[in-house]
Amino acid sequence: MTNDALNKISDFFDNNYKTPQWLLTKFSRRKLLKSAAGMTAIAAMPVMALDKNVQKQTAVIVQTDPWLTINAVLDHLLPASSNGPGAKELRVLTYLYNVVHQQPTEQAEIDFIFKGVDWLNGFTKKQLNKRFSTLTKVEKETMLRGISRSAAGENWLNNLLGYIFEAMLSPPVYGGNPEGIGWKWLEHQAGFPLPKAGQRYFELPKRSTVRSLNTSTIIQSEDLLAQRSSPIKKGSSKS
């Protein structure tokens, strides 16, 4: 599906929507990752506080759409609980923001993410006369289940779920997984040495080919693990 075709789609339930090839490719790569993450989750760990710099930057971008709605969806898809950290603790929004503004992400995918925000708010306004971010927990669940019955809605939610897993498992220097909170939760041993700013995959030669980077829009996240000489300590209890 081309960008022109996507622009003609009016909502999640438009019969003209066709799953684009870039998304089919992403989904095929993520099957194993999603399965493995679901199999290795362990019991509760303490919720970790966000550093003040990231808190301030994130607080600014979530005040308005599209990030206001995206943040509400991410928090609903993975809320913090007694079983482990949620999207907020994992800094999924920061990770996704950097995917959009820093990493060489296809414009078609960025457009789809933002289109989904408009479609979701259009759907909730039609059903409940409210924007998604203002809904109760029960209303959010009902609305997300509603859009998941469409091909476009299912794809949009699955794409965001994929980024939750990526933020959970990637090195902190990419914006998510502060202090390896996701690794500890899943008892995952990260590979070493970890990348630092300037050595991330999209900063290596011949990698950043999709579009030029705009450093003014990057939310920085210090890689607190790169300096460690010892492995990540595993979680203390299993579910």
pLDDT tens per residue across span 172-183:
988 999 989 998
Relative orientation angle of helices 107-128 and 21-40, to the nearest 10 degrees? 80
Instruction: List, in sequence order, every residue forming a beta bridge with 84; answer none if it has no partner.
Output: 81
Phi-psi region of 138 (alpha: psi -120 to 50; beta: other; left: phi over 0): alpha
The pair of structure tokens assigned to 118 is 């408009």
**Residue 88 has what pLDDT?**
94
Model-wide pTM > 0.85? no
Rounded to an integer, what distance in angstroms lies between the CA atom of residue 130 and that of residue 167? 29
3-class DSSP state of 107 = helix
The widest CA-to-CA distance across the chain, in whole angstroms, is: 55
**φ/ψ of residue 2, rounded to 5:** -80, 165
With a cut of 50, which residues of the chain have pLDDT below it?
A: 32-50, 208, 210, 222-239
pLDDT tens digits, 32-67: 444 444 433 333 333 344 456 666 777 888 899 999
Percent of the chain past pLDDT 70, that is, above it, reads 74
pLDDT for res 218: 55
